[in-house]
Amino acid sequence: MEHTLTAPLTQPVPPLNCRQRFVRTLDGDAVDRPPVWLMRQAGRYMAEYRAVREKHSFLQMVHTPDLAAEVTLQPVRRLGVDAAILFSDILTIPEAMGITVAFPEGGPQLHPVVTTAAAVDALAPASAAERLTYVADAVRLVRGELGDSHALIGFSGAPFTLACYMVEGHGSKTYDSVKALMYTDPALFARLLDKLADWVIAYLTMQLQAGADAVQMFDSWAGELRAEDYRRHVLPSTLRIARAIADRGGRLMLFARNPGHLQDAVAEVPAAVIGLDQRADLASAARRAKAAGQAVQGNLDPIELFAPPATIAARVADMYAQVDGCAWVANLGHGITPRTPMAGVEAFVQAVQQLPARSG
């Protein structure tokens, strides 16, 4: 998708509603102020979320459209963020492919692991994506509640991050099983990522058709790879997804965690927005994105939300100066942590809401 930034402003931009502000930013158009939302904004730091969670398991909330829609909407009501992001989980795709997914204390567990050709062949093809219609139902419910007032973001895990969980069977610090598969049987690894890419395309398309304004793809573990390995083994599937979404007229937001050494490769992805984690140099990323006609998103350290409101406001102003006219979606560099004080979250959102229009 090509995005052309407008010329420097000569007239003030009239006030926009939240949905207009978000969509225009992704399209590279002038806005009255940057839009703001927060990764993992529906979560345990909110009393409203905890009240729902006390009555239902995590998977019940993910699988039940009414519950998923309710917790998706909670941050919009409480904080006034510009965009809601659908409450779900990246492991919906492995589950729909036939993997058993559980969430005991300590993190997700997947069974059986996918380490052989037979295991890859046994995974359901993307034609079975109708198993995920409960997600589309939740998107439609949220869209109906939001109307045209606020933006709605859908999401998916990226093929490599999904493969990490499916090959390891759980989270990992070393990713030795998935990397070993990549190094010892690159053809099989490519088949797995290709199959996952088919699913991601179908899944994100489903969410866009159900009413999402944009879709974010999380490649949480991309930074664990050497740049050469990312480019050789992972980038092809990422490019295929990005091009497919662009061909469908959709807006893709790409977030890769700890990707500093991957920036040259990530810059090749035709996404509307490049998400940045807190380690990234916001100023240099914004210069690169502006030249490519893209927006940037991020990248406050989530733990900075523990700081006093005045400190948070000063950081927001500093971030805005760093983007220097690039289209910018104010956000965190990763998800909110459960113990985050509401005062810090409110201070961040309010500081962004008080920023002036982009100057060019």
* Residue 89 main-chain phi, psi, to 5 deg: -150, 150
Query: What are the pLDDT digits (tens) for 123-143?
Result: 999 999 999 999 999 999 999
**What total of structural domains would you count in the chain?**
1
Could you identify the residue written with the tokens 């994100």?
204
Instruction: Look at the pTM and tell me if it is higher than 0.75.
Output: yes
Note whether residue 253 is domain-resident: yes
Query: What are the pLDDT digits (tens) for 153-198?
Result: 999 999 999 999 999 999 888 999 999 999 999 999 999 999 999 9
Question: Nearest CA to 34 among 266, 322, 283, 331?
Answer: 331
Query: What are the pLDDT digits (tens) for 108-121?
Result: 999 999 999 999 99
Active-site hit among 45, 49, 165, 320: 165
Active-site hit among 24, 40, 143, 358: 40
Q: What integer is the mean pLDDT of 15-23?
A: 97
Note whether residue 9 is domain-resident: no
Note whether residue 324 is domain-resident: yes
> What is the span of the domain harbouring residue 159?
18-353
More confident call, 144 vs 6 = 144
What pLDDT sits at residue 349? 98
Note whether residue 13 is domain-resident: no
**Residue 40 appears among annotated catalytic residues:** yes
* Residue 260 main-chain phi, psi, to 5 deg: -55, -45
CATH classification at residue 259: 3.20.20.210
Residues 6+ apart with CB under 8 A from 137: 65, 210
* pLDDT over 70 at 144, yes or no: yes
Q: Band of the pLDDT at 7, cuts 50, 70, 90?
A: very low
Would you list the DSSP string of 272-339? Answer: SEEE--TTS-HHHHHHHHHHHT-EEEEEE-GGGGGS-HHHHHHHHHHHHHHHTTS-EEEEESSPPPTT
> Which helix (H) or strand (E) covers residue 102, if one does?
strand 100-102
**Residue 53 appears among annotated catalytic residues:** yes
What pLDDT sits at residue 2? 47
Note whether residue 2 is domain-resident: no
Q: Band of the pLDDT at 5, cuts 50, 70, 90?
A: very low
* pLDDT over 90 at 149, yes or no: yes
* pLDDT over 70 at 360, yes or no: no
Q: What integer is the mean pLDDT of 75-99?
A: 98
What pLDDT sits at residue 359? 57
What pLDDT sits at residue 50? 97
What pLDDT sits at residue 259? 78
Note whether residue 5 is domain-resident: no
Query: Percent of the chain having pLDDT more than 90?
Result: 89
Q: Band of the pLDDT at 3, cuts 50, 70, 90?
A: very low
Note whether residue 61 is domain-resident: yes
Question: Nearest CA to 168 among 130, 235, 204, 220?
Answer: 220
**Residue 45 appears among annotated catalytic residues:** no
Query: What are the pLDDT digits (tens) for 291-340?
Result: 999 999 999 999 999 999 999 999 999 999 999 999 999 999 999 999 99
Active-site hit among 27, 32, 89, 277: 89
Query: What are the pLDDT digits (tens) for 195-245?
Result: 999 999 999 999 999 999 999 999 999 999 999 999 999 999 999 999 999
Residues 6+ apart with CB under 8 A from 270: 1, 2, 239, 242, 243, 246, 252
Active-site hit among 53, 140, 191, 240: 53
Q: Band of the pLDDT at 12, cuts 50, 70, 90?
A: confident
Note whether residue 12 is domain-resident: no
